Amino acid sequence: MVTEVERVDWEAKEYIVRDRNGLWYVGLFLVAAALIALAVWQGWWTFAILVVLCVIVILTSNLRPPRSIKYKLDRQGLTEGGKLRKYAEFRAFGILKEGANYSIILIPKKRFGMRMKVYFPETNGEAIVDALGARLPMEEIKLDVMDKLVNFLRI
């Protein structure tokens, strides 16, 4: 008989910091310059402004270090930094390993709901999987197209 885990607490970063060298930033500015040149040539002023805003957002988000978030998994659900997400919101979960980092992917019941990704230290992995497995079915998780694109672009 599997015993139910009462509560699991851990702290993890909100996202993985990916290595970016000077060539990455040069590539970003070259792509942005090409898109802006195309927009100006075609007279798409709104698109040109959108490209500039996107570059600013990418740069500011890359310069901001990830926050450490406290997580709690208990009978009610997953608490992320003080916000409770009940088990009833999710239909399943899966585990994903990206290099040396592990994450839980919670799959929403809503058709167009966003998957929730939560990183955790390997030492808490068994207790987390046991606690989630007692309430949700586990599914195999594969990276979708957007996840692969984000990993490729290192953003």
Q: How many domains does the chain have?
A: 2
pLDDT in tens, 114-155: 888 999 998 888 999 998 998 999 999 888 788 888 777 777
- Supply the range of the domain harboring residue 82: 69-153
- 80 in a domain, yes or no? yes
pLDDT in tens, 13-62: 888 877 788 898 999 999 999 999 999 999 999 999 999 999 999 888 88
pLDDT in tens, 100-125: 889 999 999 988 888 889 999 988 88
Q: Give the whole-angstrom CA distance, residue 21 versus residue 28.
A: 11
Residues 75 and 139 in one domain: yes
Instruction: Round the average pLDDT of the chain to a whole number and report it.
Output: 88
Give pLDDT, residue 2. 45
DSSP notation for 22-55 = HHHHHHHHHHHHHHHHHHHHHT-HHHHHHHHHHH
Residues 79 and 148 in one domain: yes
Place of tokens 């586990």: 138
